[in-house]
Amino acid sequence: MKHVACRKVGFEPGVSNFRNLMESGAVYVDKTGFLRELVTSRDIKLMLRPRRFGKTLTLSMIQYFLEMNYRDPEDRSETQSLFSGLEVVRDRELCDGWMGRYPVISISFKEASDSSFLGSFFRIRSELQILAEKFSFLLSPEFAGQRAVLGAGFQEDLRHLMDVSNRTLALASAAEIRGEVVLVSEFLHRLILRLNAVFGKPVCVLIDEYDVPLQYARHHGYYDEMLGVVRAMLSSALKDSGAILFGMVTGCLRADPESIFTGLNNLDV
C-alpha cells in the first residue's frame, strides 16, 4: 500500500481550494502522489463520485500543480513553495517537466442551478465571465504583440463577457439571447486555442460538476434546451484538437457519454 502522509496540524473541514487548504494550517492527507497518474494521460477523464467526495479539491490540486505564471513563465517559485514537503516533489522528473508549466482553464457548474433555463444559463455565463476576467491580461499592453494571434473577434468576445451583466441580459431580446447562447457554447474552445497559440503549450481543461445544470433542467422541464448548451460547450472544448494537454470532468451522475460528450473518442470514464 502506498504511504500516505499528512501535512500540518489543525483541522478545517470542507475546504475545496488547494491553496487555501495548504495555507490554513489544516491537516492534509497527501494525495499529490497521484498527480503523475492523473496528468500524464492525454485522455479526457470523466470522474463520477458522490458529493463531498473530494472532486473539487482534486481538480484544484491539479490546477495549482500545472498552472504557469502567465506573465513570467519561467518563474515557478510560487508553485514550488506551495507543494514543498509533499509527496509529489520526490518525483523530480514529473516536477521538472510539468509543475507550473502549462495554461489551465478551470470552471465549475456547481452554482448553475435554477428553476428556469435562462436563470441557469445566466449562472453558467457568470462562470465564463469570471474566466474571462482571469484571462483579461491578454488584452493588456504587454501582450500587444499577440493581438494578431488572438484575433479581433475573440478580443471583442472577451470584453463582451466581462462587460455585459446578467441584469442587462434579462432585458435582452430573443435574438440577443440566442447570440449569448452561441458565445457561451463556443467560448471555452476558442479560449483553449488562443492560450495554446499565445504560450505555445497545450492547455489543461478542468470542469467541475458538469451535471448540476442538467439535473435541475430535468426537474424543472427545460432539459433539452440545457442539454444543447452543455453538450455544445463540452464537445467543442474537449475534442482532440492537439491544443489540449488533458482534461478532467467531474460529476455525480453517470449519464450516457454519447448523449453529452459527442465526438470524443478519448473519453475515459
In a domain, 114, yes or no: yes
Query: In this structure, are residues 60 and 16 in contact, taking their beta carbons and an 8 Å threshold?
Result: yes
In a domain, 169, yes or no: yes
Q: Given this model, what pLDDT does residue 266 score? A: 67
35 closest CA partner among 82, 85, 94, 105: 94
In a domain, 215, yes or no: yes
Report DSSP state, residue 75. -
Record the pTM: 0.89
Q: The C-alpha cell of 246 is what?
A: 488533458
In a domain, 175, yes or no: yes
Segments forming the whole domain that contains residue 69: 6-255
Quick one: which H or E segment has residue 204? strand 203-208
- Count of structural domains within the chain: 1
In a domain, 260, yes or no: no
Query: Domain containing 73 — which CATH number?
Result: 3.40.50
Contacts with 17 (C-beta within 8 Å, 6 or more apart), sequence order: 57, 60
In a domain, 72, yes or no: yes
In a domain, 71, yes or no: yes
Contacts with 65 (C-beta within 8 Å, 6 or more apart), sequence order: 32, 35, 39, 79, 83, 88, 98, 99, 100
In a domain, 267, yes or no: no
Residues in the chain: 269
Q: State which residues of the chain have pLDDT below 70.
A: 1-14, 255-258, 262-266
